[in-house]
Amino acid sequence: MELESLNPQQLSIVKEQLDEEVEGLTNSFANLRHAVTKYKASKIALENIDQREILVPLTASLYVPGRIINPNQFMVEIGTGYYVEKTRVQSSEFCTRKMNMLMENMDKISKMINQKKRYLDLVQEIMRKKIQEFQASQH
């Protein structure tokens, strides 16, 4: 796109659009990072589950003591309402797979954000120049 050929008003529209896009992408990035944190926490929880006594929540304020019968069997939600029984190792691998996929997407988005920010800098630079030229021509 030829930015030089646009007037300051059009440039400011482009700038607004870019701002919106950067905001949207930054939001997505934050969501992805949040999801990675949750999978990381699940992975850590997996390693800590054994046959100790635990407190099982029946309601938000009522817990009963219990014991995990099989600390090697877990139910994993794989998406669209499907659940699979997995062993501790398989569940941990699942978490790792998910985290890797999410982090790959985070990389892609972060590159896009940087690209947009560079474009944004360029637009602002050209806007500044045009405004200066206009002011100079008024004297």
Kindly identify the residues of this chain, within the stretch 100-129, that bind another protein according to CB under 8 A: 101
**Binding piece for another protein, criterion CB under 8 A, among 4-12, 20-28, 56-64, 83-91:** 83-91
Q: Is position 59 an interface residue for another protein (rule: CB under 8 A)? A: no
**Cα 99–chain centre separation:** 11
Q: Is position 80 an interface residue for another protein (rule: CB under 8 A)? A: yes
Tokens of 1: 């796109």
Of 85 and 125, CB closest to another protein:
85
Q: Is position 78 an interface residue for another protein (rule: CB under 8 A)? A: yes
**Long-range contact pairs involving 26-34 (C-beta distance under 8 Å, separation at least 24):** 26/113, 28/109, 29/106, 29/109, 29/110, 29/113, 32/102, 32/103, 32/105, 32/106, 32/109, 33/106
Tell me the closest approach of the beta carbon of residue 38 to another protein, in angstroms.
Answer: 16
Of 83 and 134, CB closest to another protein:
83
- Widest Cα–Cα separation across the chain: 86
What amino acid is encoded at 122 in this protein?
A: L
- Give the interface with another protein as residue ranges (CB under 8 A): 75, 78-87, 90, 94, 101
